C-alpha cells in the first residue's frame, strides 16, 4: 500500500510539472506600441521600464554594455520587468541609425539595437574625420539621399549585411518617410515629457530624475518590484 501511494504521488507530481511547462523566457517577446516603439518582455510585468536613447550618445552605448546582460537575465527573462526603447534624435546620423534599427519586423529590433550600441565606438569615427563635402551630403537632398550618404560613410551597409539585410532592403528603409516621421514624433513626445539628456529612464510612466547609469537605475527598479 505504501508503495502504491508513493507511485501515485510521483505520477501526480510529474503531471503537474508537465502541465506547468517550462518557465517562459520573456527575452524573446517583442511588441510594437501604437507610437512605433518596441517593448521587450512580459506585457504584464510589474515594472515597465522605458529607456530614452540616442545612437550617437556615448553614455547610451556605455549603459548598453554595462547593464543589458544583467537587465535581461535577472529582470526581463523571468517576467518581472519589461523594457521599452524610445528614440531621441540628436543629429542626422542618429536618425539614420534609428531608421536602420527599426528596419524589418519587430522581432529584429533589439538585435539591431544592440549591434549599433555595442559597436558605436567603431562606426562613429567618421563624425570626427569627415570632410566638409561629406558633411554637406549628410544634410542635403531628400531623405533617402541624405541617409544613403550617411550609411555609406559610416559603413552601415556592411553592418546591416551581417544581420541579413541586402542593400535594396536597407535603401528602402532609409527612404521611408513615414518611419522618419514616427521617430521624430517619438523624440518630440519624449522632449515634451521632460527628457533632456540620454540615456534617461522612466518606471511605470514616471520619469526618473538624475538617473543615467545602471548603478543609479538598478536600486529604483528593485524598489518598484
Q: Collapsing DSSP states into helix, strand and coil, what is residue 54?
A: coil
Count of all residues that appear for the chain in the document? 225
Query: Residues 61, 63, 68, CA angle at the centre, nearest 5°?
Result: 105
pLDDT at residue 24 in the model:
82
Decide: 182 and 115 in contact? Cβ < 8 Å: no
Please tell me the pTM assigned to this model: 0.88
Cα(first)–Cα(last) distance of the chain, in Å? 47
Strand runs labelled E in the chain: 30-32, 38-40, 47-53, 81-87, 200-203, 206-207
When divided into structural domains, the chain yields a total of 1
Q: Kindly report, residue by residue over 102-146, the tens digit of the pLDDT.
A: 999 999 999 999 999 999 999 999 999 999 999 999 999 999 999
Q: How many CB atoms lie within 10 A of CB 18?
A: 8
Strands 47-53 and 200-203: antiparallel
Strand order of the sheet with strand 200-203?
A: 30-32, 38-40, 81-87, 47-53, 200-203, 206-207
CA distance 160 to 222: 36
Decide: 29 and 107 in contact? Cβ < 8 Å: no
Decide: 204 and 47 in contact? Cβ < 8 Å: yes
Q: Kindly report, residue by residue over 45-87, the tens digit of the pLDDT.
A: 999 999 999 999 999 999 999 999 999 999 999 999 999 999 9
Q: Kindly report, residue by residue over 12-27, the tens digit of the pLDDT.
A: 444 433 344 456 899 9
**CATH code: domain of residue 206:** 1.10.40.110
**37 CA to centre of own chain:** 9
For residue 190, what are the contacts with CB-CB under 8 A and spacing of at least 6?
A: 52, 86, 87, 88, 200
| Cell numbers at 124, concatenated | 562613429
Host domain of residue 25: 2-224
Question: How high is the mean pLDDT of the chain?
Answer: 91
Q: Collapsing DSSP states into helix, strand and coil, what is residue 30?
A: strand
| Cell numbers at 148, concatenated | 544613403
Q: Collapsing DSSP states into helix, strand and coil, what is residue 213?
A: coil
Strands 206-207 and 81-87: unpaired
Q: Kindly report, residue by residue over 167-207, the tens digit of the pLDDT.
A: 999 999 999 999 999 999 999 999 999 999 999 999 999 99
pLDDT at residue 22 in the model:
57
Amino acid at each position: 500500500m505504501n508503495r502504491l501511494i508513493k507511485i501515485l504521488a510521483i505520477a501526480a507530481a510529474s503531471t503537474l510539472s508537465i502541465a506547468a511547462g517550462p518557465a517562459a523566457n520573456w527575452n524573446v517577446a517583442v511588441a510594437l506600441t501604437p507610437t512605433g516603439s518596441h517593448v521587450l518582455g512580459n506585457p504584464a510585468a510589474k515594472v515597465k521600464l522605458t529607456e530614452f536613447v540616442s545612437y550617437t550618445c556615448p553614455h547610451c552605448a556605455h549603459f548598453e554594455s554595462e547593464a543589458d546582460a544583467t537587465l535581461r537575465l535577472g529582470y526581463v527573462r523571468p517576467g518581472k520587468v519589461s523594457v521599452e526603447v524610445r528614440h531621441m534624435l540628436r543629429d542626422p546620423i542618429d536618425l539614420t541609425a534609428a531608421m536602420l534599427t527599426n528596419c524589418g519586423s519587430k522581432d529584429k529590433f533589439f538585435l539591431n539595437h544592440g549591434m549599433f550600441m555595442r559597436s558605436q565606438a567603431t562606426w562613429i569615427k567618421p563624425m570626427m574625420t569627415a570632410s566638409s563635402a561629406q558633411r554637406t551630403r549628410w544634410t542635403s537632398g531628400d531623405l533617402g539621399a541624405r541617409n544613403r550618404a550617411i550609411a555609406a560613410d559610416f559603413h552601415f551597409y556592411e553592418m546591416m549585411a551581417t544581420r541579413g539585410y541586402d542593400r535594396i532592403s536597407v535603401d528602402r528603409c532609409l527612404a521611408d518617410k513615414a518611419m522618419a516621421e514616427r521617430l521624430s514624433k517619438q523624440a518630440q513626445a519624449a522632449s515634451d515629457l521632460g527628457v533632456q539628456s540620454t540615456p534617461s529612464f522612466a518606471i511605470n510612466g514616471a520619469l526618473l530624475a538624475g538617473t543615467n547609469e545602471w548603478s543609479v537605475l538598478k536600486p529604483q527598479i528593485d524598489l518598484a518590484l
